[in-house]
Amino acid sequence: MLKSFHLALLLLTLPVLSIAQINNVSYRLSFNPVTNHYDCYLHVIDGQTKKTLDRVQLNAQLTLLVPTGSEVEVAHNYMPLQDNQEYKGTKPMVWNKANVITKPASDPFHDYVSIVPQLSPTSFYHDLNSGDQVKLFSLRISHVANCGDDVQLFNNQEGPTSREVGMKGADFRNGFTMGGIGQKYSRNEISVTPALDIVKDIKTTTSSSILLEAVSDENPLFGPYTYEWNTPMGLSKEGKKLSVAKPSFSDYGVYQLMVTDARGCKQLKTVEIKSKEDAQIFIAQENLSGNGASSSSNVAVNSRTFVENKVSIYPNPASSEFFINLETEIGTKIDLVLADANGRNIIKKILSTESNQNNLNVMVPTEDLVPGSYMVLAKINGKESAHKVIIVK
């Protein structure tokens, strides 16, 4: 204990004796699908460390925003290591919860939780170089929803200050120091939304009836799962299997299966069922799932393909912007998000509102999107549908 105190005192009072070589770091939060934890990483953007005094952990803070009511627990500690001056340390330093503000008036949808290092006994990193990513600790977080979109790192530029209503004077800004008192933290890295990929195939039987069955590999960590089918007529049915006895002309077309896990992550699968009389009609599925090179002129359209008749997208393909037109009743609850081509990773939230008119037209700018295929996921009064949109530049 005394040795650790003397070392810290030396670093704080005589910083000129050790010039910290790490100049710039960032934090990254990454969901781990194997453990169902969130791993917190230190990313060395610039600099390197070799000297003992340059590798010592000093004050730091990493703040998370989690859905209101969530429980946050440090599940495992990884780095730095206690008494690691000679690279022989084996016991990780302890990261602890510090300040916790629940449901502040300035942001009632989140709780704020800061994690800080326990500085005694003194802990050291191994040698670090620019580009290194070091796992610091992992968190167990309950009540994860919206596929993890509601779990975020605090943004020093945009987050509420200590003076804002409900923050109780607490400073939740992220920070990191090592080897000296100079601030090393500069920003957060982008957190990747966890993907759902459990449906491997859809078995189809089309003789006297239509039988569809999802072939999936469920992970019990993320259950229970819900399976919802959308039929060519726009009807919704739940379950891994879907059966249509004595199908009529309108029962043929494209069926969509949306699978949702307990975290709110989604996976979209589609399958086209053709009647014998309609075998020559096809949907340009290959064009829509390609690299965006197709144009609207070479997309064949089957009039019986499932397209939610309340939602239309134009122009498609789109360049600088596209529009989502919704025909709804006043008071209809509408949620729109833009996802990747498989409907899994959420790119941006477009709209969440109650309609105050019968015809709603929403413009979506595309300047920040790379060319390719995307999905507009629409939820209208709880009913979900997905719609392809192609971005070209």
pLDDT-above-70 percentage for the chain: 84
**H-assigned helices in the chain:** 2-13, 285-288
Q: Taking 90 as the threshold, does the pLDDT of residue 184 lie above it?
A: yes
**Beta-bridge partners for 360:** 326
Mean pLDDT score across all residues of the chain: 82
pLDDT at residue 339 greater than cutoff 50: yes
How many CB atoms within 10 Å of residue 328? Answer: 19
Per-residue pLDDT, 128: 96
Q: What is the pLDDT of residue 183?
A: 95
Q: What pLDDT, on the 0 to 100 scale, is given for residue 194?
A: 66
With tokens 């990884």, the residue in question is: 78
Gyration radius from the chain CA atoms: 26
Tokens at 204, concatenated: 């189809």
User: Which one, of 211, 390, 196, lies nearest residue 286 by Cα?
Assistant: 390
Contact 176, 47 (CB under 8 A): no
In degrees rounded to 5, what are phi and psi of residue 242?
Answer: -135, 130
- 288 DSSP 8-state letter: H
Q: Collapse the DSSP code of 313 into the 3-class scheme (helix H, G, I; strand E, B; otherwise coil) and give the result.
A: strand
The domains of the chain are located at 2-188, 195-280, 282-393
Strand partners, 241: 213
pLDDT-derived band at 2 (thresholds 50, 70, 90) equals: very low
Query: How confident is the model at residue 264, as a pLDDT?
Result: 83
Give me the residues paired with residue 366 across strands: none
pLDDT, one tens digit per residue, over 280-313 is 434 333 344 444 333 332 333 333 333 344 788 8
Distance from C-alpha of 138 to C-alpha of 76, rounded to nearest angstrom: 5
Dihedral of CA atoms 252, 254, 255, 258 in degrees, nearest 10, equals -170
CB 231 within 8 A of CB 210: no
Query: Could you tell me if 54 and 124 are in contact, meaning their C-beta atoms sit under 8 angstroms apart?
Result: no
Which tokens hold the place of 37? 């934890």
The answer, yes or no, to whether residue 7 has pLDDT greater than 50, is: no
Q: Determine the pLDDT at residue 346.
A: 75
Q: How far apart are CA 89 and CA 87, in angstroms?
A: 6
Average pLDDT estimate for 35-57 = 94
**Does residue 372 contact residue 341 with C-beta atoms inside 8 Å?**
yes
Q: Are strands 133-141 and 22-32 parallel, antiparallel or unpaired?
A: unpaired
Q: Are 292 and 371 in contact (CB under 8 A)?
A: yes
pLDDT band, residue 15 (cuts 50/70/90): very low
In this structure, the number of other CB atoms found within 10 A of the CB of residue 229 comes to 22
Residues β-bridged to residue 259: 227, 267
Select the more confidently predicted residue: 344 or 271.
Answer: 271
The CATH classification of domain 282-393, taken from the options 3.40.50.800, 3.40.50.300, 3.10.20.30, 2.60.40.1930: 2.60.40.1930
Query: Residue 263 CB: number of other CB atoms within 10 A?
Result: 22
Q: Could you tell me if 16 and 129 are in contact, meaning their C-beta atoms sit under 8 angstroms apart?
A: no
Rounded to whole angstroms, the Cα distance separating 121 from 317 reads 60
CATH of domain 195-280: 2.60.40.10
pLDDT classification of 344: cutoffs 50, 70, 90: low
Of the candidates 96, 88, 94, 86, the residue with the CA atom closest to the CA atom of residue 121: 94
**Pairwise CA distance, residues 14 & 20, whole Å:** 12
333 φ/ψ angles, rounded to the nearest 5 degrees: -80, 125
The predicted pLDDT at position 193 comes to: 66
Q: Mean pLDDT lowest for which of 228-232, 254-258, 324-328?
A: 324-328
Select 2-188's CATH number: 1.10.357, 1.20.1260, 1.10.3720, 2.60.40.
2.60.40
**Chain Cα centroid distance, residue 346:** 6
Q: Do domains 2-188 and 282-393 have the same CATH topology?
A: yes
- Phi–psi pair at 131, nearest 5 degrees: 100, -15
Q: Mean pLDDT over residues 35-54, rounded?
A: 93
pLDDT single digits (tens) 58-111: 999 999 999 999 999 999 999 999 999 999 999 999 999 999 999 999 889 899
